[in-house]
Amino acid sequence: MEKNVEILSREIVKPSSPTPDDKRILNLSLLDILSSPMYTGALLFYAADPQNLLGFSTEETSLKLKKSLSKTLPIFYPLAGRIIGSFVECNDEGAVFIEARVDHLLSEFLKCPVPESLELLIPVEAKSREAVTWPVLLIQANFFSCGGLVITICVSHKITDATSLAMFIRGWAESSRGLGITLIPSFTASEVFPKPLDELPSKPMDRKEEVEEMSCVTKRFVFDASKIKKLRAKASSNLVKNPTRVEAVTALFWRCVTKVSRLSSLTPRTSVLQILVNLRGKVDSLCENTIGNMLSLMILKNEEAAIERIQDVVDEIRRAKEIFSLNCKEMSKSSSRIFELLEEIGKVYGRGNEMDLWMSNSWCKLGLYDADFGWGKPVWVTGRGTSHFKNLMLLIDTKDGEGIEAWITLTEEHMSLFECDQELLESASLNPPVLI
């Protein structure tokens, strides 16, 4: 499909009103400073209205998106600025808006949405591993020949996590529908997690800085609502009688990759699961609408693959959550607790050659399927797709909100074993078509 994507235009969209002088400098929080210099992004797929045979008009739709983006940027003003070291210069430099034509049918594209094909719908700048200074925000509107539309939104990971991205998308969609933005963002993260006066912790929190880039494979596994129900029942125990969707899928992932490691290793290795956790709602001083990398890692260890049953894995996840909640209460009392957590994470990475490190990240319940810009809700939502870093799992809601899509990146050797695991395939389908 590579030759079928043509860039039509690229322009800068500036805020509709200037940023006040007292907001021109935004200090990054400690967690922002330690995050990877890369982009996080989401792709929103919209089918053409069946009553409109021509589908989306490139000119009218682009104008609507750009006007509403311009009105949204004064509320999310740092996204129109430039990142300089440990702060954002909120200079209204603007966001980049790209129009592209895709000579392909959206329905055909969604029959087999392989991760590599998604890369063609993402701005070239967002694929760079270089330090992200500007643009902070990149948009690409991809117009399919059938009238379908894919909006790709990429934001610098130095100032946003997935929750921040979802807040921006929600606000932009409301603005596009002519509504007021209902969830006003708060840019006070640096007050909760300020940059230390002395040197920074030696180990970055975001493991992407630490993980070796290598030849990896990313594949999409879908757990539909009926399979999720059975998996949750299978994973229930006396301690956790009603595991969540995410707990059940995460437990199955860890169990299956641990089995894969055991098959490909001469001796049992300690398996470490790292779960990215949203700190909003857990740290008292952190409000739900805070923009930034409000994330930490919850770490679980399976010494020499001793934890066998999926119920036992879910029990371990639930216990880890309880301990993490206590840590968050300590963070509420003293921000120094975050340094202790970072030190603990650093010790894990220091033993990376001795252990298998796996990571799970959930985008479930972020409301991305509610992104209605005025032509209805998306038929499919996904993240970036491919990854150059091994041992990652990204979980995203299915359209009905009951199932889960798992985008999993492993080494080629591990993936060849993982995708054949019968326990996995009892609950998941490998890259089924997206139904419109």
Active site residues: 157, 372
Cα separation, 320 vs 306, whole angstroms: 17
Secondary structure percentages of the chain, helix, strand, coil, to 5:
35, 25, 40
DSSP type of residue 34: T
Cα separation, 263 vs 231, whole angstroms: 24
Element (H, E) at 203: none
Cα separation, 96 vs 152, whole angstroms: 12
How many angstroms separate the Cα of 276 from the Cα of each of 42, 223, 360?
18, 21, 6
DSSP per-residue codes, 61-86: HHHHHHHHHHHHTTTTGGGGSEEETT
Cα separation, 372 vs 46, whole angstroms: 9
Q: Give backbone dihedrals phi and psi of 87, rounded to 5 degrees, phi first.
A: -145, 165
**Residue for token pair 């119920």:** 311
How many angstroms separate the Cα of 26 from the Cα of each of 19, 75, 77, 84, 163?
12, 14, 10, 10, 19
Token pair for 400: 């009905």
Q: Side-chain half-sphere of 312: how many Cα atoms within 13 Å? A: 8
Cα separation, 71 vs 74, whole angstroms: 6
Cα separation, 364 vs 286, whole angstroms: 20
* Residue 161 and residue 120 in contact, taking contact as beta carbons nearer than 8 Å: no
* Residue 48 and residue 56 in contact, taking contact as beta carbons nearer than 8 Å: yes
DSSP helix/strand/coil, 250? helix
Side chain identity at residue 426, one-letter code: E
Cα separation, 95 vs 371, whole angstroms: 19
Cα separation, 349 vs 411, whole angstroms: 19
